[in-house]
Amino acid sequence: MAEKASGYRGVRRRPFLLLGTGCALFGLVLGIIIGYFAIPKRATPWSAALTREGDPSIAARLQREVTPDNIRENLRELTARPHIAGKEMDLGVAQLLRDRWLEYGFDSARLVPYDVLLAYPSRDPNRLSRVSLLESDGTVVVESQQQEAGADDPEAEPPFNAYSGSGEVQGDLVYVNFARAEDFQTLVRDLGVDVTGKVCIARYGKIFRGDKVNQAGQFGCAGLILYSDPEQCVAPGMAVWPDGWMMPSTGVQRGTVKGTNGDVLTPFYPANEYAYRLPEQDAGLPTIPVHPISYGVAVEILRNMAGPEAPLDWQGGLDITYHLGPGYTGPANSRTVRLVVNQDREVRTTYNVIGTIRGAVEPDRYVIVGNHHDAWVYGGVDPSSGTAVLLELARAMGKLKREGWRPRRTVVFGSWGAEEEGLIGSGEFVEDYIRSLQERTVAYLNCDAAAGGNFSLSVAASPLLHRMIREASKKVPDPHEPSKKLYDTWRMKRPEEEGNPDTRPKINKLGAGSDHAPFFQHAGIASSDMLSDIDPALGVTSYPLYHSAYETFDLQDRFIDPGWTVHQAVGRLWGEMAVTLADALVLPLDVRDYAAALQQMMDELRQEHGSRLSAQNIGLEHLESAIANFTRATTNFHQTVGSVDKSNPLTVRAVNDRLMKLEGAFIDPLGLPDRPWFRHVAFAPSSVNTYAGQSFPGLADALFDIDNAADQAARWEVVKKQLAVTTFTVQSAANTLVNNLF
C-alpha cells in the first residue's frame, strides 16, 4: 500500500491520508458499535433459556387440544369393568394408563406397587354381610341385598364398608341421625336414650362416614348400619336412576370407614417389601361391625320403631315418622335387627402409575397432577371421570411435547391406587418419596371426580395457589356459556361474598377427602383439589349416586355432562394450572393470600373462643403478633418477587425456592396431638369430619367442646401448648421469607 500511495505523493497526499484515515476511523467506530451492540454475542449456551419467560401460547394450544370426544371415549373405556383396588382390573387400569402415557410421548411412565392391607366383603355364601329385620322366631322380615337391582355384574363387590369390624350383632335398634358427635350428645345427654350395646342406624351425610363409626364406637354402639336417606340423595321432584340421576331405593353407598390415611399397617413409612408391619389389632381399625344399606331396606327397618319421636331436624326423607328407639312398637315390638359383617382383610398389591415429562431448565422441580384410578364399582364419576380427563390432558401435553415444547420444570402425572380405602396409594407414595418430594415439588394439583355435577366449579386449595387458580379460570371458557369464562360463572355460583357483584369465587380449605391430603397435610406441599359439582340448592349431599353401582358411563353421558364440555373445562383448567406452574419463570404463588388467610383464621378463632380463652387468662397476643410478622414478611417478600432481577437465574431460583417451600414451613414434624400423621399446623381435616378443612387444628381440637370435657385441666394445658406451637410455626414460616435472619 505504501508503494501505491507514492503516486499521490505531494499536494494530494494529505487529503488522501486525511480522507482514508477519516473513513477508516468512521468505519472503525461504526463497526465497533455494530459489533458490540447489534450482533448478539453467541450466548453462553444456557443464558437465554435459564431466564426465559414461559411461552404464553402453550397453555392456549393445550386448551385447544383437550376435546370432549376424547374424554368421552376415555371414560367409556375406563368404566367398562369394575376396578376396585387390589383386584385384577385395578392393575388393568394402571397398565392402560402407563401404556397410554408412553404412547403419548412421556419421558417415563411406570407402575409403583405397594403391599397394603385391603378389605373385601366375604363372598362365601355362608358368610355374606347383611342387615336383617327379624321376627322373634327368626323369620326374616326384610334383608339387605348383595347387589343393587339392575347392577348384577359378578365382578362387582357387594356393597360394604371397608375395614368394618367383622362379627354378628343382634338386638334393639336406635336411630342416631347422622351419627355426629353432636347427634350422640343430643341423644345421650338431652334425650336420655342409651345406645350402649345397641344396633345403631345412621343416615349418610354431613360428615365422613369413618367419623360416624368412630363416634358410634366411642358411645358404645354394638354395630352401625349406614343408609342413604332420600333427604340426602333425592332432590325433591327429580327422577331417580335410571330415569334421572337421583338415588333409587335400591342404591347403596359403599365407602371406607378407616379413619387414617395410607396403609394402616405401615404408618409413616412406605408399605414395601421390607416394611415393618404393625399387628392388625394395633392398627386402630374399627372394631364394631358396620354395613351400608339402601333406603328401600332402611324404610322397612326404621318403620314402627319405638321410643320418642326423633327431633324435627332428625326426621329424614322417608315417608314415615322417625323414632329414636330402642326397638319396635306395636305388632312389631318383638322384632330385632341383625347385623352380620364378614370381611377379609388381606395384604395385597396396589399400583400407582407415575409418568413424567421432564423439565428443560429445572428438571428437579416438579409440578404434580394427580387422580386415583381405583373405583368402588365402575367409577363413572369417582374417580374415572377425573381419570378420563387426566388421560386427555396427558395426550395433549404429549402432543405439545412432540411438537417441540418442553416445560421449564418437570410435570409429573400420578395415578393413585386404593384411594377409596383411605388414600392408600398416594399416602404410601408420599411417605416413600417424602424427602425428595419436599425438596422438589412446586405444587400438587388433585382432581378426583372431575364431574360430580354440572352446576359449577368447586375448588379447595392452599392459599398460596388461590390467585393462580383464579387467574387460570379466567382463561378457560365456561362449559355452558362459551362466551363467558369459567371464572365468571364460578364466582357467580360460588361467591366468596354473597350479594357482592364483584365477588371473587370462593375457594375452600382442604379437608382429607382425596389424594391431596398426604401431599398437603403430611408433606406440606401446596395443593389444590377441584371438580365440577352439583347445585347446593338441591339440598343433597354430593352427587346422589355417589359410590353406588349406578355410577356409570351412562350417568355422565345421559345426565351429568351429555356434551362432555364440563369435563373439557375441568381438563382445560387443570392444564392451565399445570402449565402455568411448570413454565413460569417466577412461580405464580402468592404469599399475601396466605397472610390474609391467617388473619381471617385469627379473627374466627378470636370470635369463637376469645372469651373462653380470656376466662382462662390465655392471651392471643403472641399469635396475633406472629401473624402480623408473617404479614409483614409476605408483603416484603412479595415486593422482592415483583422486583426480582429476572436476568439473574440464581436470584430467581432462590425466590422460587422460598415460594415453593413456604407451605412446608407450616409442617410440625411432631404432628398434631393424637393424630401425628397430620402435620400442617395451619390446616388439617376436621377431627369430627374428615371431609372438611379445619384451621389451626391443634388449637381447634383442644378447644373442641372443652366446656363439656371430662379432663378439662389437661385439655387447657394442651390448648396452651398448641397456642405456643401455632405461634412458633407461623413465626418460623415468616422467617423463611426473610433474607437477613440474623
242 touches its own copies (CB under 8 A): no
Q: In Å, what is the CA distance from 157 to each residue of 153, 473, 521?
A: 9, 39, 31
In degrees rounded to 5, what are phi and psi of residue 296? Answer: -65, -35
C-alpha separations of 194 from 134, 312, 571, 643 in Å: 22, 20, 50, 65
Residues 388-417 that bind its own copies (CB under 8 A): 412
Looking only at the bridges linking them, the beta strands covering 223-227 and 199-203 are parallel
Half-sphere exposure of 639 (CA within 13 A, CB side): 7
Quote the CA–CA distance of 445 and 425 in Å, as a whole number. Answer: 16
Q: Binding mask 339-378 vs its own copies (x if CB under 8 A, - otherwise)?
A: ---------------xxx-x--xxxx--------------
Least distance between its own copies and beta carbon 87 (Å):
25
Q: Work out which of 14, 28, 329, 508 binds its own copies, going by CB under 8 A.
A: 28
Which residue among 6, 44, 281, 643 contacts its own copies (CB under 8 A)? Answer: 44
State the nearest-atom distance from the C-beta of 35 to its own copies, in Å: 3
Taking the least distance from each CB to its own copies, the nearer of 29 and 239 is 29
Give the nearer residue to its own copies in terms of CB position, either 114 or 322: 114
Which span sits near its own copies by CB under 8 A: 17-25, 218-226, 530-538, 603-611? 17-25
Contacting its own copies within 111-130 (CB under 8 A): 112
Work out the burial of residue 214: count CB atoms within 10 Å of its CB; fewer than 13 is exposed, 13-18 middle, 19 or more buried: buried
Q: Looking at 115-123, 283-291, 690-698, 733-741, which segment touches its own copies (CB under 8 A)?
A: 733-741
Residue type, 266: T
CA-to-CA distance for 366 and 391, rounded, in angstroms? 19
Q: Which region, judged by CB under 8 A, interacts with its own copies, from 335-343, 548-556, 580-588, 730-738? A: 730-738
The nearest distance, CB 663 to its own copies, in angstroms, is: 11
Nearer to its own copies, 187 or 605 (CB): 605
The residue (of 310 and 734) whose beta carbon lies closer to its own copies is 734
* Strand order from edge to edge, sheet including 336-341: 140-143, 130-134, 336-341, 167-171
For residue 475, state whether it binds its own copies (rule: CB under 8 A). no
Closest to 408 (Cα-Cα) out of 572, 578, 527: 578
**Interface with its own copies in residues 616-675 (CB under 8 A):** 622, 645, 647-651, 653-654, 657, 661, 664-665, 669-670
Q: Assess 551 for contact with its own copies (CB under 8 A).
A: no
Q: Give start and end residues of each alpha helix (H) in 34-107.
A: 47-50, 56-65, 68-78, 88-104
x-or-dash string of contact with its own copies, 574-603, rule CB under 8 A: ------------------------------
Distance CA 511, CA 692 (A): 4
Window 419-438: residues binding its own copies (CB under 8 A): 432-436
Under rule CB under 8 A, how many of the chain's residues touch its own copies? Answer: 88
Give min distance, CB of 201 to its own copies, in A. Answer: 40
Q: Which of 3, 6, 10, 45 binds its own copies (CB under 8 A)?
A: 45
Which among 211-219, 232-240, 263-271, 315-323 is the span making contact with its own copies, rule CB under 8 A?
263-271
User: Considering beta carbons, is residue 151 or 665 the nearer one to its own copies?
Assistant: 665
Q: Is 251 helix (H, G, I), strand (E, B) or coil?
A: coil
Q: Compare residues 454 and 521 and give the one whose CB is closer to its own copies.
A: 521
196 binds its own copies (CB under 8 A): no
Q: DSSP labels for 606-637?
A: HHHHHHHHHHTT---HHHHHHHHHHHHHHHHH
Among positions 307-336, residues that touch its own copies (CB under 8 A) are none
Q: What is the DSSP string of 332-370?
A: GTT-EEEEEE-EEEEEEEEEEEEEEE--SSEEEEEEEEE
Contact with its own copies (CB under 8 A) among 124, 137, 190, 273 = 273
In this structure, the number of other CB atoms found within 10 A of the CB of residue 258 comes to 25
Nearer to its own copies, 287 or 625 (CB): 625
Strands 456-461 and 683-685, sheet pairing: unpaired
Q: Looking at 223-231, 443-451, 597-605, 728-736, which segment touches its own copies (CB under 8 A)?
A: 728-736
Binding mask 83-112 for its own copies (x = CB under 8 A): ------------------------xx-x-x
By CB under 8 A, tell whether 714 contacts its own copies. no
User: Does 728 interact with its own copies (rule: CB under 8 A)?
Assistant: yes
| Contact criterion met (CB below 8 Å) for 288 and 339 | no
Q: Which of 159, 205, 248, 270 binds its own copies (CB under 8 A)?
A: 270
Nearer CB in complex with its own copies: 36/190: 36
The CB-of-199 to its own copies minimum distance in angstroms stands at: 37
Q: Is the peptide bond before 286 cis (omega within 30 degrees of 0)?
A: no
C-alpha cell at 686: 376436621
Mark out the alpha helices in 591-711 (DSSP H runs).
Answer: 591-615, 621-642, 649-662, 697-703
Q: Pick between residue 248 and residue 664 the one whose CB is nearest to its own copies.
A: 664
What is the rounded CA–CA span in Å between residue 658 and residue 638? 11
CA angle 425, 430, 434 (to 5 degrees): 160
